[in-house]
Amino acid sequence: MKTFTNTRISKIHRIAIIVLISVSYWTTSYAQTTNFSGTWVIDKQKINFNNAPEWILPIKFVINQEQSDMEIQTTMANKDLVQTAVNQKLAFSGQITESSTASGGKLLTSIKWSNDQRSFVLSAQSYLLGEQSALKLTEAFSLTDDGKTLVADRSVEQPDGSKYKIKAFYDKQQ
């Protein structure tokens, strides 16, 4: 009888361990991530540009998020208000995606989730046509206001070595 009880308890322990491992795997592998899908338009009223021109920031992001990747359309406007858009499909694995810039240069981009999967970091290097040095960009994206505001903490290093940081805010469009 004692052996039967110990065996039964042992089986219960094994089942409990298997369930715990399964739940742990599921929550790690399929943890609910923040959904950044939507159209996001810049809110210049919330941004401290200091002396920087307003055209240093994208004016709009259109994001379509899937489980393993994200499509991002980034729209910029230059000082003459001429708009250009760059479309990229990026994998959350951190894999580098190569694409062309509007001016014919090369753009290397990757994204990676934060540990809590509530924000992600986009890293990019943009090379002008024929140039060896790159503009380096890092943006940490997060959501605030119950998902109504996209925040992009942007750090940029220009090819000449000058650097700047700016926090941008984008409102979700319906």
- pLDDT tens digits for 92-150? 999 999 988 777 889 999 999 999 889 999 999 999 877 778 899 999 999 998 899 99
Phi, psi angles (nearest 5°) of residue 173: -95, 145
Q: What percent of the chain has pLDDT over 90?
A: 56
CATH topology of domain 38-173: Lipocalin (2.40.128)
Residue 151's pLDDT is: 97
Q: What's the mean per-residue pLDDT of the chain?
A: 83
Mean pLDDT of 27-56: 83
Residue 28's pLDDT is: 39
- The pTM (predicted TM-score) of the whole model is 0.77
Between 24-33, 57-66, 72-81, 103-112, the lowest mean confidence (pLDDT) is in 24-33
Q: Is it the case that residue 67 has pLDDT exceeding 60?
A: yes
CA distances from 99 to 17, 65, 66, 121, 125 (A): 47, 19, 20, 18, 11
Q: pLDDT band for position 31 (50/70/90)?
A: low
Specify whether the CB–CB gap between 131 and 124 falls below 8 A: no
Helix (H, G, I), strand (E, B) or coil at 74: strand
